[in-house]
């Protein structure tokens, strides 16, 4: 969901650094949607026999679950600035906020209220509301 919001093809090759629980969940979900995974090292690596499609190909984009870096950041850190500047920054920089919002939308659509999945708000709307709440709470 987040990768697609930033123009990454869902059938593409995702490079993953790390192999902990979040990396494993993302790898499994990406594979389920038709994508492939290239393991690129990390403190822990994905098991070769997991529910993911491991390939040795050049990745279309990289997610680093161990440290900073990669095309999609998993960090959720404090931001400064007004609403407009935060929206502008986050519209071109995927960070942990995007992953948090996507995870919650997916949970509601598949676990808590699948009968309302077509009525759930968009990922970008949830992001806008989260940013507004962060600005308000200061």
In the chain the beta strands, taken as DSSP E runs, fall at 13-17, 36-39, 61-64, 72-73
Could you tell me the residue range of the domain that residue 114 belongs to? 83-137
pLDDT tens for the chain, 138 residues: list them. Answer: 888 888 888 789 999 999 999 899 999 999 999 999 999 999 999 998 999 999 999 999 999 999 888 888 888 999 999 999 999 999 999 999 999 999 999 999 999 999 999 999 999 999 999 999 999 998
C-alpha 125, offset from chain centre: 16
Q: What's the pLDDT score for residue 125?
A: 96
Phi, psi of 137 (to 5 degrees): -80, -15
Q: Choose one of 50, 73, 96: the last residue of a domain.
A: 73
Same domain, 16 and 61: yes
Instruction: Name beta bridge partners: 36.
Output: 13
pTM given for the model: 0.82
Place of tokens 């709470």: 137
Instruction: Name beta bridge partners: 15.
Output: 38, 62
Whether 17 maps to a domain, the answer reads: yes
Phi, psi of 57 (to 5 degrees): -130, 160
Q: What's the pLDDT score for residue 138?
A: 87
Same domain, 7 and 69: yes
Same domain, 32 and 52: yes
Q: What's the pLDDT score for residue 9?
A: 81
Q: Choose one of 51, 73, 95: the last residue of a domain.
A: 73
Same domain, 59 and 94: no
Q: What's the pLDDT score for residue 107?
A: 93
Instruction: Name beta bridge partners: 16.
Output: 39, 63
Same domain, 19 and 59: yes
């Amino acid at each position: 969901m987040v990768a697609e919001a930033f123009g990454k093809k869902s059938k593409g090759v995702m490079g993953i650094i790390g192999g902990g629980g979040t990396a494993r969940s993302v790898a499994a979900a990406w594979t389920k949607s038709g994508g492939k995974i290239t393991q690129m090292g990390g403190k822990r690596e994905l098991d070769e026999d997991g529910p993911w499609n491991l390939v040795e190909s050049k990745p279309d984009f990289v997610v680093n679950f161990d440290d900073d870096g990669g095309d999609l950041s998993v960090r959720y850190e404090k931001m400064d600035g007004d609403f407009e500047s935060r929206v502008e920054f986050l519209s071109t920089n995927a960070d942990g906020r995007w992953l948090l919002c996507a995870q919650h939308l997916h949970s509601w659509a598949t676990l808590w209220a699948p009968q309302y999945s077509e009525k759930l708000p968009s990922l970008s709307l949830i992001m806008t509301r989260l940013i507004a709440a962060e600005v308000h709470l200061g």
